Amino acid sequence: MKPEYLHAISNHVLVIGVGLGIFALILALFLQSRQAQIVALAVVLVSSAAAYPVLFLGQQAYKSVRGIADEPGQEWLDVHMERAENTIYIYYALMLVAGAALVAPRWKPKTTMPLTLATLAFAAASMGVGGWISYEGGRVRHPEFRDSPPPEAVEARHQHAAHE
């Protein structure tokens, strides 16, 4: 399968999974159920782990997508890629916090609520960041979504193994 298709599929795992994890985490907090929190935290952890494959596959797809995009689409692609590369760390932080929220309470029970709330905050922030990234990505191949010119990318062109 082509990396651009795998990028689109894995991106949905990330976004939908973290979104469902947020919903489950809020519900678990409302129910005051540690078992439900564990399930919700596991969903967030596994879903946020999809961030690296999403980025990697996007980088692999860069050259072929750039080749079929029109000139404004190429500029949108550069901004999309730049945003993804610069903000991937929020997903890594989310994985760490969710993992800590799963295991730390076993030894330090008082960490349960702070780590669970931190996970919820990082998950919500990651959804915002994901929306910010995808806002530009949707304009690469969909001129009907372009309501303004693309913002300037910091890097003129991205250099990836697939962009030779």
- pTM: predicted TM-score of the whole model, two decimal places: 0.85
Q: State which residues of the chain have pLDDT below 50.
A: 156, 161-164
pLDDT of residue 122: 97
Q: Which two tokens stand for residue 138?
A: 């949707």
Number of CB atoms found within 10 A of residue 86's CB: 13
pLDDT at residue number 46: 97
- Tens-place pLDDT, residues 144-163: 677 777 777 655 455 564 44
What pLDDT, on the 0 to 100 scale, is given for residue 154?
57
Q: What is the pLDDT of residue 35?
A: 97
The two three-digit tokens of residue 46, written as one number: 């596994």
What is the predicted pLDDT for the residue at 146? 75
CB 63 within 8 A of CB 20: no
